[in-house]
Structure 1
């Protein structure tokens, strides 16, 4: 036995002698090199996911369906409903109104903030870093416009900083920081450095676009977002708005439909890749096929028909006859139901005898599963510049020129949905000749056209309506509505925030106002 102990000691001595040397690289030696981690990851993947989720491509698309369609499209009277879509009649559904908040943080903000964090000090990935900063502004811009004060400076840091109760930043502070971020990121983009590959779904589709072009387009997107943010401030602080709008114009904006910021979807990947608005309205969920669920509003239809708008031939179809002829189209009035009472649709003026005779969106143009989701467009840019010019700000041309450019771009943009939806230059000119810009009615004309140009992007239509007051929509006052017959000014924080982040939640409520549909956000000065 003693001999065995001596043998074991001799065998162990070499190992004991080298142990101190081994511990110098203990962590490295005990790290699985085949396991992916933050340092071995590809930031581009998270960037792709954040942008795709921004278009609504989470598995159940609650944000897209519940806020963009159920609420915004109906409140903005581009769609109408006689079944359960709460926004048509300003009915409060806490879960639906909170859906965008609930999905944005885990599905968008988590990923885009991770990209920024891991690329910040990497000189080789500086373009990815600055492009991600621009995308982050785009994401937070929509979120704060919907809810007002939100977690911003501490958001997305649950993984990195273990901060699960972020403070709510005041919207004024959020806006000022977003403008700063756009300014810095646009200036820092460098065409001589590496760019994101095909993971950039907006400006490097396919991954073969020259770096100089990708960088130039992202700069234009940054300044176009700056223009939009600046114009949002026009009711709150005219001087600050003017400063940022003119800076955006000087920086260089989206200047053609070819530079539109959009994602072109893939119909083969199910909920995670298809166009989610299309999937809800005409694909998996068949909203436009369910009688009275998602028809074109009478307000929007009357605007198109009364003005002989050439877009109508491609936007609408009558389900009962499958007709796309403009004269056959009929819009459904908002504020009706199918409950056999005083507000039953059968009692609406001009009821056609069958709800299938009310027009719906044309699935072959606007609602293709592989169609685009537009984020910022040339039409929007020109119409914002038209208003800026009317205000006397220095944006190159006069209001009429920018207005004409915006209307033309919005009409020609339909061809990006479908090559068959091409509106000719002659048709555009005929429309502009029949509806010339009149400065005395300029704010109305400009912002009503902006509303029309935001079809499907009802988040933006609602935001600009709250800012401008146009078009002059007639609210409905349905029995049991939550707003006293007023169009809602914001959506609702999730009730879960009161339980998980009570101190910061209550601070936001105290600063901003009651968590109600009628409480305006900071820039929406009443």
Structure 2
């Protein structure tokens, strides 16, 4: 990629020319044919930028830190905090809950919209165009899942169309369009046409993959995203959920860990290239080094330990001792603080308080928090667990629920090796776990979605979305003094106040349609 950047920079400096002061061809003569512009640019660069921004690689990583970690990870009780992380106690912080909206539209949406506009009518860029359409769906599904009704059909057109006040589309219409986009884009991909080079950070990381492999994987990514969309509808429109889910399965979904959609980061490029979860939790900001700021939750640790889950030995470490032994891991309960012994919520009052915050487990940074580690976008484990639920519902997805469940749990455990080879769990250990915890159809929805919760560690946006849809795992909310939700886990994040000022008419229409701009207003598919 460095060579490509050097090339584009080299052609960006116009040649110095002496021109006549007046001529009838003034505009033509004064147009620098050597200068880089939209028409001479390389769409692949914006494609790369959009993908990186989706993983949080914008300066200060506001969306990753504030929404993914401060809110979602804490609310979903995989992490716990005794200080200022609002999600642990359902405290309202407008700027933090706005962060994904603020960053996604200025970065992710802008760049992917530019790629689509510049490649739409260029046959050479046909695959780039359709891959960008798939990536756009990935970006917008996260946005609409977090906020509900959002600018969609008119979004990203501030530069090209000077539309600075885009309408808010209803989530139902967004979901309908996303399904159509994925299907059309997947069908239009062709191995006989050019594919992006190393700018495709998902399936052509080294720039040397063959076109047939790249195209095949992008098609599977498209239909796996469609599967996620279909299953998201089970609370609100079961018939459409089944139709979309079966369509996705028939199209061909991710079928092995080797096909997982992930971006592998570069530790050398600073905030623009490093793994942002890692940079926040163990790198530049190093939250896990600050005792009690980002500990593993009791809920998560107890689930793993109670079930003798082999992942526990790789997920947690105890800062006070450095131990990674499963028996030594201790989760911190959510909903506590360090306000002193006079406070009923002081952590010292918590059951099993170990006497030192550093005795609570944190994420094992040597496995999960490497600056050059992967950010997973959608995985084989997630796909198989969604198919397991679809099969339980009696839908046509190729195998029964038990088979998909076994595949999903096995894939989730096997996936740890993609974080680090030292975390490879043996097939013997995986089979022993499955033998001790066989699929039980009577408890199927709980089993499947609780495993989905465990399998989606670090992608807390997705953990939260699937929990809102499925209701599993059955988390016990905290009721901290001063919380904004009446002691209930939030259902959405907040629109920025700036939208009420700069896009007032469209903003108010969305509020009237969806409900008040509050943490407890449910999005369409959650109702």
Q: TM-score range by the shorter chain?
A: over 0.9
1:26 Cα offset (Å):
4.9
- Give the whole-Å Cα distance in 2 for the aligned partners of 1:30 and 1:212: 44
- The aligned counterpart of 2:345 is 343
Q: Which of the residues 460, 479, 484 maps onto 1:482?
A: 484
1:206 Cα offset (Å):
1.1
- Give the whole-Å Cα distance in 2 for the aligned partners of 1:126 and 1:28: 31
- The aligned counterpart of 1:225 is 225
1:30 Cα offset (Å):
1.9
1:29 Cα offset (Å):
2.2
Give 3-state SS (helix, strand or coil) of 1:209's partner: coil
- Give the whole-Å Cα distance in 1 for the aligned partners of 2:453 and 2:110: 31
**What are the Cα deviations for residues 413-467 of structure 1, in whole angstroms up to 9, with x where unaligned?**
0000000000000000000000000000000000000000010000000000000
Question: What does 1:99-138 correspond to in 2, within 5 Å?
Answer: 99-138=99-138
Q: Which runs of 4 or more aligned residues in structure 1 lie more than 6 Å from their structure 2 counterparts after TM superposition?
A: none
Give 3-state SS (helix, strand or coil) of 1:61's partner: helix
Q: Which of the residues 354, 363, 374 maps onto 2:356?
A: 354
Q: How many residues align?
A: 505
- Give the whole-Å Cα distance in 2 for the aligned partners of 1:94 and 1:347: 30
CA RMSD of aligned residues (A): 1.0
- The aligned counterpart of 2:444 is 442
- Give the whole-Å Cα distance in 1 for the aligned partners of 2:84 and 2:298: 18
Give 3-state SS (helix, strand or coil) of 2:417's partner: helix
- Give the whole-Å Cα distance in 1 for the aligned partners of 2:463 and 2:69: 12
- The aligned counterpart of 2:497 is 495
- The aligned counterpart of 2:403 is 401
1:162 Cα offset (Å):
0.2
1:34 Cα offset (Å):
2.7
List alignment gaps of at least 5 residues for structure 1: 1-15
- Give the whole-Å Cα distance in 2 for the aligned partners of 1:60 and 1:161: 29
- Give the whole-Å Cα distance in 1 for the aligned partners of 2:200 and 2:140: 19
Tell me the TM-score normalised to structure 2 length. Answer: 0.95
Question: What does 1:287-326 correspond to in 2, within 5 Å?
Answer: 287-326=287-326
- The aligned counterpart of 1:506 is 508
- Give the whole-Å Cα distance in 1 for the aligned partners of 2:60 and 2:483: 27
Q: Which of the residues 380, 383, 387 maps onto 2:382?
A: 380
Structure of higher CA gyration radius = 1
- The aligned counterpart of 1:12 is none
- The aligned counterpart of 1:431 is 433
- Give the whole-Å Cα distance in 1 for the aligned partners of 2:354 and 2:30: 74
Q: Which of the residues 450, 465, 468 maps onto 1:466?
A: 468
**What are the Cα deviations for residues 308-345 of structure 1, in whole angstroms up to 9, with x where unaligned?**
00000000000000000100000000000001111000
- The aligned counterpart of 1:269 is 269
1:260 Cα offset (Å):
0.2
- Give the whole-Å Cα distance in 2 for the aligned partners of 1:28 and 1:71: 54
- The aligned counterpart of 1:201 is 201
List alignment gaps of at least 5 residues for structure 2: 1-19
- The aligned counterpart of 2:40 is 40
**What are the Cα deviations for residues 99-119 of structure 1, in whole angstroms up to 9, with x where unaligned?**
000000011000000100010
